[in-house]
Chain A
């Protein structure tokens, strides 16, 4: 089976940096995704890591350590529109993505 843990809620200030952590236990690991989900909307893809290290994409970066079963999503220069739920999802080599329960980020002025 798979187990994915991430904090339930986080709060940060506009313009700041926030790091959202995700730990996982799985068999047949084939990559890790981060998705953003605004309230009442569908999840949208943010990033994908399959090798150890940092992937940077604009204000968002994602890090993976396969040996530790650990990933984080780093959001820089926070904007009010970044208030959303951030979902960590593990992809197995069977082609299935399993999601954590998400971290609700609130950005305050």
Chain B
């Protein structure tokens, strides 16, 4: 297994457009997380799944953001009507719930630039 993969790695879009990011977690991991990170800040929690169930969504997240994990494997994060403030690195991470620590394994991220 090659780890967590994210696609695309970079996305430049115009304000008002919709964008979708895909994350493929490590295959045996049952938990999948989305975070957003801007320069000089730590990763900010967006949402997470256990298998196909979305267990929590950040209250800071507007209704323009939606995430799915339809078959409990890959996940997509969609941002509708993008705004310049959405420009950030979107990080996906996965973990195995039954491990003692459940540390996160991160993908390389999808960098979004909204013009």
Q: Residues on A close to B: CB < 8 A?
A: 4, 31, 33, 35, 41-45, 48, 50, 87, 89, 91, 94-102
Contacts and interface: CB of A to CB of B under 8 A. Distances in A.
A95 B97 contact: yes
Interface residues of B, number: 25
A96 B106 contact: no
Interface stretch (B12-20, B36-44, B64-72, B73-81): B36-44
9 contacts: A42-B107, A42-B109, A50-B101, A89-B42, A94-B55, A97-B33, A97-B45, A99-B45, A101-B40
B102 interface: yes
A35 B91 CA distance: 14
A42 B5 CA distance: 11
Contacts of A48: 100-101, 103
A49 B48 CA distance: 22
B52 to A, nearest CB: 15
B43 A43 contact: yes
Contacts of A50: 100-101
Nearest to B40: A101
Contacts of A91: 102
B55 A43 contact: no
B82 interface: no
B31 interface: yes
A41 B108 CA distance: 6
Contact of A102 (B42, B45, B50, B104): B42
Contacts of B108: 41-42
Contacts of B40: 101
Contacts of B102: 31, 91, 95
B55 A44 contact: no
Given A42-B91, A45-B103, A97-B45, 14 more contacts: A31-B102, A42-B106, A42-B107, A42-B109, A44-B106, A48-B100, A89-B42, A91-B102, A94-B56, A95-B31, A95-B97, A98-B45, A99-B45, A102-B41
A87 B103 contact: no
